[in-house]
């Protein structure tokens, strides 16, 4: 029972880093590592508002719930849109992983670079609501750079491109600070929506988000690749209401995703154009780092490299880079104190 061991290890409380993402929530416990990695989604009973399922269990219900149940995604475009639901999700996942042993931890919570002060406050409030003794925030691109193992305090330009579910954040980091950042509110979930829309408009077929996401993972790409597969997608015929199957080529899926991929590339181009020349030359030499779940799209690294003429490096585990980077800040708190911002307790 991993949970019990964790509980024992953590007796008396320990420090925690949280990456509350649009698509996935990850929690890192100091001295242990990543203990929670689940989708940011809850199933709610519409009648009495009770929570029926959280995380993986709730995601399995996509496309299968009756009218009496609502699936809630408490983040939109990287920021909290339903604060109470976000708090419930974090509390539930945390207590499921480590019980009540997390009482009064120090919490580091990741915030997207492009958030407004109101959005930032709601993320901090969710962290305080878990019973933290102290809350710090860290900008996601900074956390991603640390998680990718980059030398963030050196006078060298490090470019990190984090393609998440709801946002893409591009940042250039040098000497322990974000030199410039560009955040666009598009990501992997927009790719999934494009596929739903493509099948609706081109094939008069309805598929749900779960099927569209599996299709994207299986055959989605940004650039031609060897032995491109075909895939049969099953959905509902919009006109007749009966089951329908469509055979798609990988190139069909790639064409459907292209507008989103191009928007991401444009955002990177803008970011490069705003970067001081000396730092651009560092990026040209060392390459930019690609992370976030959206970056796993096949051949996306190649497409970006071809379009922008800079080398692209992939991080080892794109889905956990941000939380691992925040976790490193907890492990080596004094070394990384300057990249953390203290958040006062709300009244
Ligand atoms: N193999 C894959 N191919 C394409 N996309 C993938 C793959 N695996 C995961 N993704 C996508 O990655 C996205 C989730 O990435 P991630 O967990 O980094 O987002 P997030 O941190 O929750 O979101 P954000 O940072 O925008 O708030 C989802 O849209 C998911 O479909
Ligand atoms: Mg993210």
Encode pLDDT of 89-115 as tens digits: 998 998 887 776 566 889 999 998 878
Task: For residue 116, count other CB atoms closer than 10 A to its CB.
Answer: 9
Q: Do 130 and 238 have their domain in common?
A: no
Angle at 94 between CA 92 and CA 99, to 5 degrees: 95
Instruction: Assess whether the C-beta atom of 59 lies below 6 angstroms from ligand 1.
Output: no
User: What is the tens place of the pLDDT at every residue in 114-145?
Assistant: 788 888 888 898 888 888 889 999 999 999 99
Q: What is the mean pLDDT of the chain?
A: 93
Residues 301 and 325 in one domain: no
Nearest-CA residue for ligand 1 atom 21 is 21
Q: Is the CB of 219 under 6 A from ligand 1?
A: no
The residue range of the domain holding 324 is: 2-39+77-144+320-343
Q: Which ligand is nearest to the CA of 297?
A: 1
Among residues 246, 180, 256, 263, the alpha carbon closest in space to that of 221 is found at 256
Do 126 and 251 lie in one domain? The reply is no
What's the start-to-end Cα distance of the chain, in Å? 39
Task: State whether the beta carbon of 39 lies less than 6 angstroms from ligand 1.
Answer: no
135 and 164 share one domain: no
Residues 29, 27: Cα–Cα separation, whole Å: 7
Q: Please indicate, yes or no, whether residues 114 and 186 belong to a single structural domain of this protein.
A: no
219-277 pLDDT, tens digit per residue, is 999 999 999 999 999 999 999 999 999 999 999 999 999 999 999 999 999 999 999 99
**Distance, C-alpha 320 to centroid of its chain:** 9
User: How far is the C-alpha of 234 from the C-alpha of 42, rounded, in Å?
Assistant: 26
Domains held by the chain: number: 2
Tell me the pairing of strands 158-163 and 288-291: parallel
Q: Is the CB of 187 under 6 A from ligand 1?
A: yes
**58-88 as b/e: b if 16+ CB within 10 A:** bbeebeebeeebebbbbbebbbbebeebbbb
250 & 110 share domain: no
Q: Are residue 241 and residue 155 in the same domain, yes or no?
A: yes
Helix (H) or strand (E) run with residue 118 in it: helix 117-128
CA dist 24 and 293 (Å) reads 9
């Amino acid at each position: 029972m991993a949970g019990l061991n964790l509980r024992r290890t953590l007796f008396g409380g320990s420090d925690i880093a949280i990456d509350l993402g649009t698509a996935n929530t990850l929690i890192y416990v100091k001295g242990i590592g990543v203990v929670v990695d689940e989708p940011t989604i809850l199933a709610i009973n519409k009648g009495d508002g009770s929570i029926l399922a959280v995380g993986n269990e709730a995601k399995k219900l996509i496309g299968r719930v009756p009218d009496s149940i609502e699936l809630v995604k408490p983040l939109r475009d990287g920021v909290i849109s339903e604060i109470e639901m976000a708090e419930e999700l974090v509390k539930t996942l945390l207590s499921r992983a480590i019980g009540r042993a997390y009482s009064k931890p120090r919490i580091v919570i990741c915030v997207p670079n492009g958030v407004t002060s109101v959005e930032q406050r709601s993320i901090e409030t969710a962290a305080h609501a878990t019973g933290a003794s102290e809350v710090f925030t860290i900008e996601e691109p900074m956390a991603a750079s640390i998680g990718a193992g980059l030398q963030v305090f050196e006078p060298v330009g490090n470019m990190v491109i984090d393609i998440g579910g709801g946002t893409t954040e591009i940042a250039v980091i040098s000497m322990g600070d974000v030199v410039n950042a560009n955040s666009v509110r598009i990501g992997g979930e927009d790719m999934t929506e494009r596929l739903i829309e493509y099948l609706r408009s081109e094939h008069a077929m309805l598929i749900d988000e779960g099927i569209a996401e599996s299709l994207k993972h299986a055959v989605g790409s940004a650039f031609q690749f060897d032995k491109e597969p075909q895939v049969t997608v099953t959905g509902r015929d919009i006109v007749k209401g009966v089951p329908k199957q469509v055979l798609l080529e990988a190139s069909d899926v790639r064409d459907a995703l292209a507008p989103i991929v191009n928007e991401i590339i444009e955002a990177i181009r803008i970011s490069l154009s705003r970067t001081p020349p000396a730092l651009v030359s560092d990026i040209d030499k060392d390459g930019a780092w690609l992370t976030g779940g959206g970056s796993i799209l096949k051949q996306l690294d190649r497409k970006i490299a071809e379009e922008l003429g800079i080398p692209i490096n992939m991080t080892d585990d794109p889905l956990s880079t941000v939380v691992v980077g925040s976790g490193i800040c907890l492990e080596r708190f004094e070394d990384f104190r300057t990249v953390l911002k203290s958040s006062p307790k709300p009244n």
